[in-house]
Amino acid sequence: MSDNRIAVLVPGKIHPRVLERLGKQFAIVSVERDGGPKVDAETAARIRGVAVSGGFDATWIDAFPNVEVIANFGVGYDGIDVKHAASKGIVVTNTPDVLNDEVADTAIALLLNTLRQLPKAENWLREGRWVKEGAFPLSPFSMKGRRVGINGLGRIGLEIARRLEPFKVKIGYHTRSPRDSLPYDYYPTLKEMAQSVDTLISIVPKTPETHKVINAEILSALGPQGVFINVGRGWSVDDDALIAALGNGTLGAAGLDVFYDEPNVPAGYLSLPNVSLLPHVASASVPTRDAMADLVVDNVIEWFAKGQPVTPVPETPIKLRG
């Protein structure tokens, strides 16, 4: 018996909760990513929605002529050709806010790990070195007295700033324009901020303007007591410059949760003692990923039920149904 429900495409892998909830109301069409869209014309014509974790470019968009909504699993949606989607009247949604707290918490944890070398200290204990060799060496850095600059003060950046306040550090930020209601120091350029702080946390999205903005000049401005933390996009970092700065003492330490070509981490980082590395886990908890999955599904449901998604991206066209 044929399934007459609205068909929703799921290319590649996605959180199982998305599949579970969507499957109760929609006919799911799962396809592999490799080799581009491979769906017969009849099936392609049935598909009116997409739930995706990762890219969905113009080729994929054009392969499904009746798609109305593309629901992205994640805050960042640079892998989706939103301009092309908008030109065809297709709504694009993402999952903001539900992961703000988790990413902000991870940013603080990564900063503490980088400053105090807590993972290395735990390994020291587990390997029996505390008994055999004595106390773990003193950490070269401390949170106390730090001057922290946040590159990107959007929803997550603001949560990071609020979490930093109890640590009694001085907080500044760089964005395209100041936010006058906030008690933090504003820097009109990234370089000015790097020259004025000793800790730089980057939480900027992937855009042409943010490509490798963390370069040798910025790292040098932070200095040998400086610490760099990235929980935004690996796209924003010049890896060669960062590896060199960490290796020659231009920069004191770094903590990274994101990389330019994930999951491939440059080998140069792995041998450095002054970098803390995480495999892009900032939002990777069961409660947060469940909330992200629910928002993906809710966007699809609300679009087809009311013509109004929950969290459309700014570039997307919204046409309310009567």
pTM: 0.93
User: Is 1 part of a structural domain of the chain?
Assistant: no
Could you tell me what percent of the chain has a pLDDT over 90?
94
Are 227 and 106 contained in the same domain?
yes
CB 42 within 8 A of CB 36: no
Are 41 and 104 contained in the same domain?
no
User: 1-40 pLDDT, tens per residue?
Assistant: 367 899 999 999 999 999 999 999 999 999 998 888 989 9
User: Is 88 part of a structural domain of the chain?
Assistant: yes
pLDDT of residue 2: 61
Could you tell me what percent of the chain has a pLDDT over 70?
98
Are 188 and 295 contained in the same domain?
no
CB 103 within 8 A of CB 231: yes
Q: Which helix (H) or strand (E) holds 30?
A: strand 27-31
State the CB neighbour count (10 A cutoff) for residue 55.
15
Are 50 and 80 contained in the same domain?
yes
User: Is 312 part of a structural domain of the chain?
Assistant: no
Are 198 and 122 contained in the same domain?
yes
User: Is 66 part of a structural domain of the chain?
Assistant: yes
Main-chain phi, psi angles of 243, to 5 degrees: -60, -45
User: Is 176 part of a structural domain of the chain?
Assistant: yes
* pLDDT at residue 138 greater than cutoff 70: yes
Structural domain that includes position 56 = 7-96+287-306
Are 34 and 116 contained in the same domain?
no
Annotated catalytic residues are 233, 262, 280
Mean predicted confidence (pLDDT) in 264-274: 98
User: 56-93 pLDDT, tens per residue?
Assistant: 999 999 999 999 999 999 999 999 999 999 999 999 99
Are 247 and 144 contained in the same domain?
yes
The DSSP secondary-structure symbol of 181 reads: T
User: Is 68 part of a structural domain of the chain?
Assistant: yes
pLDDT of residue 322: 42
Are 266 and 293 contained in the same domain?
no
Q: How far, in Å, CA of 266 to CA of 260, rounded?
A: 9
Considering only 75-79, 214-218, 269-273, 296-300, which range has the smallest mean pLDDT?
A: 75-79
pLDDT of residue 169: 98
Are 19 and 71 contained in the same domain?
yes
The CATH code of the domain that includes 291 is 3.40.50.720
Are 43 and 116 contained in the same domain?
no
